[in-house]
């Protein structure tokens, strides 16, 4: 009888193991009581709802209706090129680490810049991608944290933020991506990684930047693109903190458009006249936040 019992046990043991592998089991660090086993088939059928991908716009081609987007077909987002409305995408970067942003030169479609870190360390580096050859060139030092900023309107320089000076404070630098060895520091700044360059004036003489203390308190500054001298565009006033978010120069260079919660519960679109500092609110009738805005594509970019 004992021999028959052992034989039956040996027959049913594989069946028990198979049954266990078809259930989703909690981790060893969890104590679960009164919860029935979850069949693996349910998890497999629900996977398509939890594992999905999206696409984010990154940059317009300087003179054609083409764009760079970010999407993933493996584990992390990479840069893809879409060469027409409704067209297929072509993957441009193939890294084990995510690519966090990309931007075409405003006037030269032969290359674009992108940023990525290594291993999720958030020490972002700026790279140049040469379209014809596919060659990739590291433009920053490989160890500091760098923040890609906007292109000059002439397309000959970028302004970017970097902690390369002391490893903690963001300073502003100017660089020609085709001649990175000639870069120079525009302004030495304090206050950690609070600074971000936002836009160039139409004549490329001034740079608009944001200093962010918190989500509720931030300030806009103007930097002279030659001397680096900074001027407060939205100086601190009163005891109630004010938040500014996105900001861009007007096309005539006489003012700045920005989103702000000044004197309001919501972020409103506002216009600041540079000559007088007068602020005019443009969306006071909207009972919600204005999260972003942009200007239409130029006439040149609309020609294919």
**pLDDT (tens digit per residue) in 16-28:** 333 445 787 777 8
Q: Which residue has the higher pLDDT, 6 or 216?
A: 216
The SS3 call for residue 12 is helix
Contact 280, 270 (CB under 8 A): yes
pLDDT value at 300 more than 50: no
Q: Which residue has the higher pLDDT, 304 or 1?
A: 1
The SS3 call for residue 9 is helix
What ranges do the domains of the chain cover?
A: 53-193
pLDDT value at 155 more than 90: yes
Q: Give the model's pLDDT for residue 297.
A: 59
Of residues 78, 75, 132, 130, the one with CA closest to residue 100: 78
Q: Which residue has the higher pLDDT, 43 or 83?
A: 83
Q: How confident is the model at residue 38 (pLDDT cuts 50, 70, 90)?
A: confident
Q: Give the model's pLDDT for residue 15.
A: 36
pLDDT value at 4 more than 70: no
DSSP per residue, 161-215? EE-TTTSSS-EEEEEETTEEEEEEEEE---STT-EEEEEE-TTSSEEEEEEEEET
Quote the distance between the C-alpha of residue 137 and its chain's center: 20
Range with the largest mean pLDDT of 5-19, 42-56, 64-78 = 64-78
What average pLDDT does range 32-52 have in this prediction? 80
Q: Which two tokens stand for residue 101?
A: 């942003």
Contact 55, 49 (CB under 8 A): no
Quote the distance between the C-alpha of residue 41 and its chain's center: 37
pLDDT value at 93 more than 80: yes
Q: Give the model's pLDDT for residue 54.
A: 85
pLDDT value at 10 more than 60: no
Q: Give the model's pLDDT for residue 21.
A: 56
CATH of 53-193, one of 3.30.70.20, 2.120.10.30, 3.40.50.300, 3.40.50.720: 2.120.10.30
Q: Is 248 exposed, middle or buried (0-12, 13-18, 19+ CB in 10 A)?
A: middle
**Measured distance CA(30)–CA(35) in Å, rounded:** 12
pLDDT value at 29 more than 60: yes
Q: Is 171 exposed, middle or buried (0-12, 13-18, 19+ CB in 10 A)?
A: buried
What average pLDDT does range 59-67 have in this prediction? 93
pLDDT-above-70 percentage for the chain:
90
Query: pLDDT digit string (tens) for 179-217?
Result: 999 999 999 999 888 999 999 999 999 999 999 999 999
**Measured distance CA(199)–CA(293) in Å, rounded:** 13
**Measured distance CA(140)–CA(158) in Å, rounded:** 13
């Amino acid at each position: 009888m004992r021999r028959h019992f052992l034989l039956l046990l040996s027959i049913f043991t594989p069946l028990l193991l198979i049954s266990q592998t078809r259930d989703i089991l909690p981790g060893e660090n969890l104590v679960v009581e009164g919860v029935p086993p979850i069949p693996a088939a349910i998890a497999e059928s629900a996977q398509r709802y939890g594992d999905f991908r999206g696409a984010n716009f990154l940059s317009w081609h300087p003179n054609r209706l083409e764009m760079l987007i970010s999407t993933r077909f493996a584990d992390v987002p990479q840069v893809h090129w879409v060469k027409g409305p409704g067209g297929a995408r072509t993957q441009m970067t193939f890294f084990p680490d995510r690519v966090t942003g990309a931007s075409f030169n405003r006037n030269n479609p032969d290359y674009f810049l992108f940023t990525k870190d290594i291993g999720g360390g958030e020490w972002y580096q700026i790279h140049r991608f040469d379209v014809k050859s596919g060659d990739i060139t590291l433009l920053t030092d490989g160890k500091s944290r760098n923040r890609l900023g906007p292109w000059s309107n002439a397309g000959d320089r970028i302004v970017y933020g970097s902690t390369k000076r002391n490893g903690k404070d963001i300073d502003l630098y100017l660089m020609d991506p085709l001649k990175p060895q000639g870069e120079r520091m525009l302004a030495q700044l304090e206050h950690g990684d609070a600074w971000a360059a936002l836009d160039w004036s139409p004549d490329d003489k001034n740079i608009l930047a944001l200093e962010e203390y918190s989500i509720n308190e931030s300030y806009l500054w103007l930097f002279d693109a030659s001397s680096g001298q900074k001027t407060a565009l939205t100086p601190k006033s009163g005891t109630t903190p004010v938040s500014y978010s996105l900001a861009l120069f007007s096309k005539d260079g006489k003012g700045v458009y920005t989103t702000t919660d000044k004197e309001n519960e919501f972020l409103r679109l506002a216009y600041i006249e540079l000559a007088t500092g007068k602020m005019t609110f443009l969306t006071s009738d909207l009972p919600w936040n204005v999260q972003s805005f942009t200007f239409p594509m130029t006439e040149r970019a609309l020609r294919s």
